[in-house]
């Protein structure tokens, strides 16, 4: 359920390349609220990926602000509540913003369980027992508990996608970012993936931002807003029904 509690405020965000010759983002302003499900659409090259990647600083913005939990994360240092200047901790930021890519990034020589416990154990120093318990719980949530000891090659594309989803949920993510999660999936698996994202979103009330070309698959019942991008800017930010009642989709060559 969307609320009016703001999670991220994006203000006049710009990302320019080649000294401004390419304006991938050119003044994007948007509010992302807690529990929102947002779908970002727009023609190829309109800035969707850059927008998503900027949110967790995979792209360093050229200008503008991204306020997350009250802190402008585009600045390397900020002043905390006690007035002290502190360095922005990008790793801990990324643990709150989980990005699910279209490529699955699983180590082929390791089992699914070992893939999932690797980062918690090696990076965060969680014990093997605790990491495995959590991983199994998450695999169960995505319907793959019985595949924990399988190797990536033994899984279908849809199953690997579900492992990546379970993988980002190892952290207490506040927001899940999806860049074309259905790109490599057949229609039936795509539908299952969307249903799973929907289910997780409902159970955890996580905010979801998703870029997907397969509009007919993603526009499921509880999408709160569609952001329509064009030429590095936001052309419309509306509820799906409102957007459909404008002529904007057709005018921009979107089915
Ligand atoms: P979309 O996801 O909507 O297809 P992108 O965000 O990938 O759009 O790209 C927006 C624009 O920025 C495109 O014109 C793209 O060519 C350009 N762009 C993206 N990344 C780079 C880069 N690293 N260097 C130069 N131009 C880039």
Question: Given a cut of 80, is residue 12 above it in pLDDT?
Answer: yes
HSE value, Cβ hemisphere, 13 Å, CA-based, for 96: 14
Give, for ligand 1, the residue of 40, 50, 178, 209 to mutate: max count of ligand atoms closer than 8 Å to Cβ: 50
Contacts of residue 250, defined as CB under 8 A and 6 or more positions apart, other chains included, come to: none
pLDDT over 80 at 221, yes or no: no
pLDDT value of residue 114? 95
Atom 16 of ligand 1: nearest residue by CA position: 45
Q: Please, which pLDDT band fits residue 177 given cuts at 50, 70 and 90?
A: very high
Confidence of residue 220 (pLDDT cuts 50, 70, 90): low
Mean pLDDT of 155-169: 87
Degrees, nearest 5: CA angle 74-27-34: 60
- Residues 6 or more apart whose Cβ sits within 8 Å of residue 57: 73, 74, 90, 93, 94
Name the one residue in this structure whose structure tokens are 């020589």: 109
83-91 average pLDDT score: 89
Q: Which helix (H) or strand (E) holds 199?
A: helix 187-204
Q: Is 77 exposed, middle or buried (0-12, 13-18, 19+ CB in 10 A)?
A: exposed
Percent over 90 (pLDDT), the chain: 55
Q: What are the E-state strand segments in the chain? A: 6-17, 22-33, 37-41, 63-68, 71-72, 77-79, 85-87, 97-100, 175-179, 207-211, 225-230, 233-238
Give yes or no for residue 104 having a pLDDT over 80. Answer: no
Among protein residues, the one whose CA lies closest to atom 18 of ligand 1: 24
**Strands 6-17 vs 22-33: parallel, antiparallel or unpaired:** antiparallel
Residue 2 has a pLDDT of 53
pLDDT band at 252 (very low <50, low <70, confident <90, very high): confident
Average pLDDT over residues 167-189: 85
For residue 4, name the pLDDT band (cuts at 50, 70, 90). Answer: low
Contact yes or no for 37/52 (Cβ under 8 A): no
Cα–chain center distance at 15: 19
Dist CA 163 CA 139 (whole Å):
7
> By C-alpha distance, which of 91, 88, 89, 147 is closest to 116?
147
pLDDT at 124: 81
46 lines ligand 1 (CB under 6 A): yes
pLDDT (tens digit per residue) in 18-39: 999 999 999 999 999 999 999 9
Q: How far is the CA of 218 from the centre of ligand 1 (A)?
A: 23
In short, whether 55's Cβ falls inside 6 Å of ligand 1 is: no
**Range 126-144 burial, b when 16+ CB lie within 10 A, else e:** beeeebbebbbebbebbeb
């Amino acid at each position: 359920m969307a609320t009016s509690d703001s999670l991220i405020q994006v203000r006049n965000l710009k990302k320019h390349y080649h000294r401004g010759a390419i304006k991938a983002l050119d003044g994007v302003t948007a509010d992302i609220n807690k529990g929102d499900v947002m779908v970002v659409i727009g023609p190829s090259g309109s800035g969707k990926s850059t927008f998503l990647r900027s949110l967790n600083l995979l792209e360093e913005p050229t200008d503008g602000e991204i306020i997350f939990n009250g802190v402008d994360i585009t600045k390397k240092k900020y002043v905390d509540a006690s007035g002290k200047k502190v360095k922005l901790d990008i790793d801990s930021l990324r643990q709150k913003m989980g990005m699910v890519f279209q490529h699955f990034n699983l180590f082929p020589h390791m089992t699914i369980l070992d893939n999932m416990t690797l980062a918690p154990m090696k990076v965060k120093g969680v014990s093997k027992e605790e990491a495995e318990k959590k991983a199994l719980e998450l695999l169960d949530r995505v319907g793959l508990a019985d595949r924990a000891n399988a190797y990536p090659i033994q899984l279908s594309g849809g199953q690997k996608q579900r492992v990546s989803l379970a993988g980002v949920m190892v952290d207490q993510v506040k927001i899940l970012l999806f860049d074309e999660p259905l790109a490599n999936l057949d229609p039936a698996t795509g539908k299952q993936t969307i249903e799973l994202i929907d289910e997780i979103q409902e159970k955890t009330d996580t905010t979801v931002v998703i870029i997907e070309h397969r509009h007919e698959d993603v526009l499921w019942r509880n999408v709160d807003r569609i952001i329509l991008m064009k030429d590095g800017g936001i052309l419309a930010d509306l509820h799906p029904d409102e957007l459909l009642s404008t002529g904007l989709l057709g005018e921009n060559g979107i089915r």
